[in-house]
Structure 1
């Protein structure tokens, strides 16, 4: 693993707070925030939702796997991955390696009620499809073991303020060896 790596990588399902917590955490650490979904949008020239509709989920997952590998190799701040990034075996391998080399991979876990409330009827979450609550339940259940496989720290975000979650991440980082 290179000396350059993210200070913290955030994983978790849609609506777990990766962007909200990530931007606040980056500000608290005096570093930058990067979201691999934004990287994919920049590469594709359209929104994640449009990539799904126009090219399908398999194409999106290929773009996502490359974006995650690139970001893990280049970014030195706080990095948020898309909710489904852990479905890739290669991405999980890279994240486990990150954790094995003193990297911090935080699983922002959220309960169904909180996630459903946060998602609402958002159109920018194409994977949730026609029945968002059922898809979200299925997603939370099937992806949980994958998030658990890669995480070095698990924090529950349901019914919690973002600043409380950020404070918990900062407390966990205190005293850990992190790359400059």
Structure 2
């Protein structure tokens, strides 16, 4: 597969959906690399995302995110995991058109358990349950808009979610 063909799988969803964990499993099973745009931003900036939010503000972070997403979607031919808020940008949604995007849909209880209430998530810092619900009300239509398939994660381990993604996209293990 050439880099020009784009990613084989793009995972979107809220914090705690398991995008990186499931993406790692899918990448291993397909024999390709995983590219996580949040990790790309942290590597490029030399600091964690919560620090970028606090020191530079959300608009600066979103600009960094737009650049990281564009680079990942145009340069990477493996699995791409997008940050939870990447779909807020209309340009990003346009870039996702026609790509094999899967929305990992997660229940609130699972997301809170996975994210952890003590984990530094800047948008979930105050009243995480309420904030998460608000984020999902805002983002669910956008996740659904860009997704070719929706895979529920509730009651499934990462291997089962990965298999559901592969099945939804009709992809076979390497």
TM class by shorter chain equals over 0.9
Q: Which residue number in structure 2 is paired with residue 108 of structure 1?
A: 104
Q: Which residue number in structure 2 is paired with residue 156 of structure 1?
A: 152
Q: Which residue number in structure 1 is paired with residue 162 of structure 2?
A: 166
**Cα drift, residue 174 of structure 1:** 2.8
- Output the aligned Cα RMSD: 1.5
Q: Which residue number in structure 1 is paired with residue 74 of structure 2?
A: 73
- Any idea what the Cα deviations from partners look like across 1:106-136, whole Å, max 9, x if unmatched? 0001111221222222333111121111101
Aligned length: 170
How far apart, in 2, do the equivalents of 1:87 and 1:59 lie?
A: 14
Alpha-carbon contact 2:149-2:169 (below 8 Å) kept:
no
Q: Which residue number in structure 1 is paired with residue 25 of structure 2?
A: 24
Alpha-carbon contact 1:112-1:140 (below 8 Å) kept:
no
2:4 alignment partner, SS class: coil
Q: Which residue number in structure 2 is paired with residue 146 of structure 1?
A: 142
Runs of 4 or more off by more than 3 Å in structure 1? none
Distance 1:42 1:175, change over 3 A: closer
2:32 alignment partner, SS class: coil
How far apart, in 1, do the equivalents of 2:42 and 2:149 lie?
A: 28
Alpha-carbon contact 1:16-1:158 (below 8 Å) kept:
no
Moved more, 113-122 or 84-93: 113-122
Q: Which residue number in structure 2 is paired with residue 10 of structure 1?
A: 11
Distance 1:116 1:166, change over 3 A: same
TM-score by length of 1: 0.90
How far apart, in 2, do the equivalents of 1:34 and 1:175 lie?
A: 18
